[in-house]
Structure formats: structure tokens, C-alpha cells
Structure 1
């Protein structure tokens, strides 16, 4: 990592193109406008955050091979107090959820240090029995990124990561550079976060969990830099939906990192475009929230809110929660189904409803 251990080397090799400037300006404009955009009722913001959190957990773990859907994640989150999970996918989701909530709640107190990074890794794998021996500790075995055949046999090394011997030094340099760049404001914090993420993944400092932890640490850096809207729109979902571009940009930059002139461009452009998509998704959600809030009756809004929070609802749930007349609730539910805000499942006494997955407001 010596070729980019100093701020001057990074700034000397990083070309700030018009596209990069435009992307940073657009993201920062939204950052400044968030206070005005975020004036929705607290319970509605809370519901937006819950949906984004489910998407983030589902997407980040699926990027690494999990097979759990967002609906599976939602069911699992409602039972996190159980503390025992039957599959590795469930263990990974539980750990990711726990660490995300910690970062959302305590980001001001979680400075970027090696100690905090290893603690977050330990907590990320807290429920993973397979990872018990190495959680919270740098790798002791090589973990090159490899290609495997159908039988699980390694057929090629796609990318060679840092050796276990070099990892502690490289991590020390990366953390020191990142802290220095942020404190001295020598680079825009979005560019610092981008460089941190790509170098962290090039080092691959832990035996497992590096991809998930890189996305947790990206969120931490963004929140600490004042991008307070991040919890309300899933960056992980954007990455999952552009996974080929994600890996291509990583490899294009990572292949050059150990040379005299690292090519930061592919990764930084991908990273900023992903942040652009994240904020545009949130803009649409906020606008749709406002439209719905201005056109739907209060009881209908409460029905949608309850459906988002619980995942599924029945007529009886709403009657018990609001005290409204059963027939009145039934009419509101029917209108919400006709308008595409809810989908109906089952018939008769077994009828239940959930927020329509095709409804942009619900995504």
C-alpha cells in the first residue's frame, strides 16, 4: 500500500473529471436540501427507514451469496430476539442487521479506527458459528478472490489480495490516510469514502465478511460526513442491481493499486453513480409520500403505515388498532387495493393484505 499511503500521492494520481465534479455537486445539493425534504411525520420517516434497512440487509447479504429474499429478511428481523438461527444465511442477516442499527444509532461515537473496524467485524459475524475462530481478527490465511467450477474446485485466481503478513501494515496505512484526508479536507469526503472502500476490498483484511463490512464502513463514513439521508434509501440495493458494474469497476481499479499510478477513475465513477441512484430513489419516495399524504384519508394512511411496519395486516388488525368500524375499514382496504397501494391475499376470514411490491412508494 506504500504507493498511496500519503494524501499527496492519491491527489497526484486522481484526476477530477467534469463527470466526477457534476456527480459530487448533485449529491451534495441533495445533502443540503435533505432538511427541507425530510419534514415528513416521524412515523412516516421511520417506515421509510425500515423498508430501506430491509432492502440493505437483503441486498448486501445476497451480493455475497445469500438466498434470502427481502420478505425472508423482514420475517427474520421480527424475531431477532431469538438469537439462534438455523442457516448461515440467517446468521449473516442477523449480524448485518445488528451492526447496521448500531451504526445508524451511534455513528457519531464510532470513529474510523482499526479497533472499531475489528469490533464491527466481530459483531457482523456474531451469530456465524462457522466464523467463530476468526471474527474480529485480521486474516491468518490467504483469501484471494478465486473462480470455482461446479464441483467447488478452484480453477483460477481472479484477484490476489494482500498477504496475511502485509495486512496489518496495510490496514494501519489505510486508516491513517483516511483519517488524515478527512481531517485536513484534502479531498472531498465522498472521494475519501470511495478510495477507502476500494483499498479495503483490495486488502481483504479479514478471512470472511469483507464485502459486507466494506458496505457497513461506507455507510459509517457517509453518516459521519453529514449525509444524514443515507439510512432512508438503500445503497446496497443499488449495488445489487448493478452487480456486474460493481465488480468490473472494483477489478479495473484494484489491478492498478499496487503500481506507481493507480487508476482510481473506474471505481470512483461507479461509486458516485451509485450514490446518485440512491439519492434519486429517495427523492421519488419522498415525492410519492407527499402525494399520498395529501390525497389519502387519514385512516388509509394509517392502514398503509401499519402494513409497512408489520409486513401483512388483516381487517381485524386495523379495527383493533384504530377502533374504526369494521365495514369502514373494509371499504378503505378495498380502495387501497384498487389504487394499487395494497395487494390482497386469501379469501373470506383468511384474507390479509400487504404493501404492493410494485408500488414505488413502498420500495
Structure 2
């Protein structure tokens, strides 16, 4: 059984949990934005999450490329492994965000999510939805996407079914008993899941999907509006270091949970800070901009860019009037201008 009693509740851990829970409690007030604004925040967060989670594992697609791919009607006809992975992650994440209340944490459900995660990946067709059959140590990826040295060894294929069954049973029992704070349980779940590495490939991506699922089920309703994966990507070295330090002790009588829990809670706190800044920015935009400018900014944020032609079709506004709105938006830093003349386009800042 998992030795959660060896967790040391330090002042920093208490402070981090308190700050995250304070935001959790205030989210309904902080998130009092118009539905279309919340929808746009969520769409942006999904794109950031999909792109970041894929790049952590060595994928090379940028957020802009991810956005274009997910906006393409025939996304199922993906031509490269990178695109196949991205589409699978996006579909599973959207399913979790829309149906988290109905997704029980069971071995069967985890296998289903893994199968769906890799459903478009041709190279993974032979193992998706099934436990691994050979060793798969965790390796960090460099800037070129190629694996570096092995970060840590994982559970053997023989031990994997038993260990994952024990992990699922432990988590559900502890969640029902409510003896420990849910953020501690979810953090430890993630560390142990990655130490087992139950599938041949896709474990890192699946662990992040499951973390989002468990956070939503624990009442952290703000999670869909700010990308945790993006936070992890920007602190990837610390991510692998914390995993290695904790993983080396997981199977001892007194595991050292501190490195991983501190990384996990700090990442959640940064996720909250980023969302706070986004909400403040949204409210400032709402308060300061006229309706025509708001429509322009909203389109640019949802689609990544906007042209004069887009703006005319969107607003039915006069070209000269729209030019003035674009000048003001660029001057205030809401949009970035690229090109000139007929080729000019604007990017959401």
C-alpha cells in the first residue's frame, strides 16, 4: 500500500494549498465574465495544453500549428505522427472537460482513455488500450525532440497490472475517506502512476489528462481555463528532477514525496496566477473597449489572428472606422501588427 503518512506538511506546502483553495473558493466571483469570454479562455487553454503536453514528450508543433490543425474540418486525416498525437490528446481532453462527472477512476476507464488518446496514432495501434509488454524507462526529451538519458526505471510488465490496480483502489478509498487533502492525493497519484508507467507509450500525456480529471472531480472548476501543461513545459527540467527524486524512494517504507509534491503544488499555484492575470485582463478589456473593438479582439484571440477582411465580415463595419479601431488596439497593446498594406494582419497580444 502507498505510504502517504510519510508526507511532511511543511509551511510552504500549507501556504501553496491555501492559496490554491482560496482561488477555488473565489472562482465564481473572479470568473464572472460573459459566457463567450469564458468560452474563449477555455479554447485558448485547450490549445496551450494540447501543444505543451505534446512538446513535453518531444513533439515539435507550435501552439499556432496546433490551433490551425484543430480548426481543420478533417482533423482525422492527420498525415504525421506529431499531428496524430495532438488530435488524440485534444479529443480526450475535450471529453474529460465535458464529461468529468461521469468518468469513474477505474482500470477499464484508464485503458479506454489511453486507447482514445492514441486512436489516431498509427505507430501505436498495436498497444493502445493495453498494458505494456516490455520495459519502458522514462527519458527526458531535448530541444530537438529526441530522447536524452533515462530519467528513471519503471515497473516491470509483470508487476504493472497489480500495481495499477492497487493504485486505483488506494486512491478511490482515500478520496472517499477524506483523510488527506485532495491536492496531496492527486499529487501522489501522479507520481506513482508515472513510476508504474503502465502503457508502452503515452503515459506522460495520459497522466496529465487524468490529473485534470481528478482536479475537476475535486471541485477545482477553474482548471479548464488555464493550462497546467504549459506551466510544466516551461519548467521541464524541474519536472523531471522532481520525478526522479521522488520515484527513487516510492517503493521504500518512507517515500520522499516532498520533491514531487512541491513541484506539483507550485505548478498549480502558477496555473492560478496565470488565470488571475487573464481574468484581470479580460475585465480591463471589457471596461475600456467599445463593442466594435471587443469583437475584433475576441476574434483575434479565438483564431490567433485577424485581417481587415475578417473584421469587415465579422462586424459589417466601415473600413475607415475599423482602421481607427485597429490603430487604437495596436497602440494599447491588445493586438500586434504584422506586414503592411493589403497584406497586413493582426495577432492577439
> Under a length normalisation based on structure 2, what TM-score does the superposition of the two structures give?
0.96
Q: Distance in 1 between matches of 2:163 and 2:114?
A: 17
Contact 1:253–1:262 (CA under 8 A) maintained in structure 2? yes
Cα distance, 1:82 vs structure 2: 3.3
Cα distance, 1:349 vs structure 2: 2.1
Question: Which residue of 86, 89, 92 corresponds with 2:82?
Answer: 89
- Structure 1: any 5+ residue segments left out of the alignment? 357-363
- The question of 1:299 aligning with 2:292 is answered yes
- The question of 1:30 aligning with 2:23 is answered yes
Question: Which residue of 88, 107, 119 corresponds with 2:112?
Answer: 119
Question: Which residue of 36, 42, 48 corresponds with 1:55?
Answer: 48
Contact 1:121–1:136 (CA under 8 A) maintained in structure 2? yes
Measured at CA, do residues 311 and 17 of structure 1 come closer, stay the same or move farther in structure 2, by a change above 3 Å? same
* Aligned counterpart, 1:14: 7
Within-5 A mapping of 1:96-245:
96-146=89-139, 157-245=150-238
- Structure 2: any 5+ residue segments left out of the alignment? none
Cα distance, 1:14 vs structure 2: 1.3
Cα distance, 1:205 vs structure 2: 0.2
Contact 2:58–2:141 (CA under 8 A) maintained in structure 1? no
Cα distance, 1:81 vs structure 2: 3.1
Measured at CA, do residues 147 and 335 of structure 1 come closer, stay the same or move farther in structure 2, by a change above 3 Å? closer
Q: Distance in 2 between matches of 1:122 and 1:326?
A: 50
- The question of 1:249 aligning with 2:242 is answered yes
- Paired residue total: 347
* Aligned counterpart, 2:306: 313
- Larger deviation, residues 118-127 vs 71-80: 71-80
- 1:82 alignment partner, SS class: coil
Cα distance, 1:63 vs structure 2: 0.4
Contact 1:342–1:355 (CA under 8 A) maintained in structure 2? yes
Contact 2:140–2:240 (CA under 8 A) maintained in structure 1? no
Question: Which residue of 252, 264, 267 corresponds with 1:259?
Answer: 252
Cα offsets for 1:84-140 (capped at 9, x unmatched): 112111111100100010000000001111111110000100110000010011101
CA root-mean-square deviation: 1.8
> Under a length normalisation based on structure 1, what TM-score does the superposition of the two structures give?
0.92
Q: Distance in 1 between matches of 2:318 and 2:116?
A: 46
Contact 1:80–1:94 (CA under 8 A) maintained in structure 2? no
Q: Distance in 2 between matches of 1:203 and 1:269?
A: 20
- 1:324 alignment partner, SS class: coil
Contact 2:58–2:147 (CA under 8 A) maintained in structure 1? no
Cα offsets for 1:230-250 (capped at 9, x unmatched): 010110010011111111111
Measured at CA, do residues 224 and 293 of structure 1 come closer, stay the same or move farther in structure 2, by a change above 3 Å? same
